[in-house]
Structure 1
Amino acid sequence: MTSDNTGRLTFPSHVRLTGEGLILREWTDDDLPAMAGLFDDPHIAYWTPLASPFDAAAARAYLARARQERADGLRLRLAITTDGNLPQGEILLIRTSTDDPAVSLGYTVGAAHRGRRLAARALKVMTDYAHHTIGLPRVTLGIGAENGASVAVAHAANFHLTDEPLIPVINKGRPLVLQTWAHDRT
């Protein structure tokens, strides 16, 4: 991240991260059909605020919102790929405001690509970026305790459960309680 002329932190003009056998890259218009294939999934619909069904129109709206939130310095959404081309999921860096350097991360992997540790590997790469490029001492995850797959990803990426208060949220009208997991820079 860099500072703009007001001193607020902003994202670099282009982000492409590599490591763990992955290439994390910006979404493009060419990815719209792949987005619909990845995100139109009952598991993703249950645990995330993504639209369901996630069709071509939802993909266009999502990409437009992603670009606006990136320009606003609030979210960085990168496609998870193994070859730099075919998106297999997404990793997100999330800020609540441009004045607060604290970030949380999020991730999702399409059903056809699960079971290959893509989320844990992408999480390690993005965590390294947050610690060593941005310079953040801590990054967090908010995970529903019942989301066993996401808890397993957090463990695999060396995150630890914190004793921070539970976070109540409403996702598509359904109440969830999130636990905070953290990774501290060593």
Structure 2
Amino acid sequence: MSSTTSPFPDRIELTGEGLVLRDWTEGDVAAMPDLFDHPDTAYWTPLVSPFDEAAARARLDKARQLRAQGTTIMLAITTDGGAPLGEVMLRRAPEGTELGYAVGPAHRGQALAARAVRVMAAYAFEELDVESVILELEAENSASVAVATATGFSLLDVPLIEGEEKGRPYVLQTWGLNRP
């Protein structure tokens, strides 16, 4: 963590858009496999697969470690502060302040990702004082492209990001949203 990067608060709860974005808790570990152990999630995200209770515990531990390091915030997406429906993430990266998300299969089609992205972007602009946020996604991931366009992001004219995850090559586009 650079000396110019302020630490994140120990606890975060963000509200807006009919959502409560809150810290993951020990009580969420049992619910996380239902959210993240799905072929779409395995394909489009770096989350491990299969995503079982051990993976959930590791994810909770990683979320706490990355928060303490001041690099990443991972919050549960909820409508009322209760049961998690997915996750929204903010990561301080060399290429910019990146947002990411995953919504459980049973909870898709409710604009949860778009709403969570808007709330997290507002947090980045208002509380972290960033000038812009980015999304990195594959052009073929129509659901994520829909989230990007619905939330006002624009495709940036920057080099594509090529890599391999879980034995599958990928090419990511970078989408950006500037502070209002």
TM-score by length of 2: 0.96
Structure 1: tracts of 5 or more residues without a match: none
What is the aligned counterpart of 1:72 among 69, 76, 79? 69
SS at match of 1:178: strand
Q: Please state how far the C-alpha of 1:93 moved relative to its aligned partner.
A: 0.3
Pairwise CA RMSD of aligned residues?
Answer: 1.5
What is the aligned counterpart of 1:14 among 11, 16, 38? 11
Using the TM superposition, name which of 167-176 and 16-25 deviates more: 167-176
CA distance in 2, matches of 1:8, 1:90: 23
Corresponding residue for 1:124? 118
What is the aligned counterpart of 1:140 among 131, 134, 138? 134
Corresponding residue for 2:91? 94
Q: Which runs of 4 or more aligned residues in structure 1 lie more than 3 Å from their structure 2 counterparts after TM superposition?
A: none
SS at match of 2:149: helix
Residue 33 (str. 1) matches residue 30 (str. 2):
yes
CA distance in 2, matches of 1:79, 1:50: 15
CA distance in 1, matches of 2:49, 2:95: 31
1:74-101: per-residue Cα shift (whole Å, max 9, x none)?
11000000010110000000123xxx69
CA distance in 1, matches of 2:125, 2:95: 12
SS at match of 1:68: helix
SS at match of 2:31: helix
SS at match of 2:46: coil
Corresponding residue for 2:60? 63
Residue 106 (str. 1) matches residue 100 (str. 2):
yes
CA distance in 2, matches of 1:31, 1:134: 27
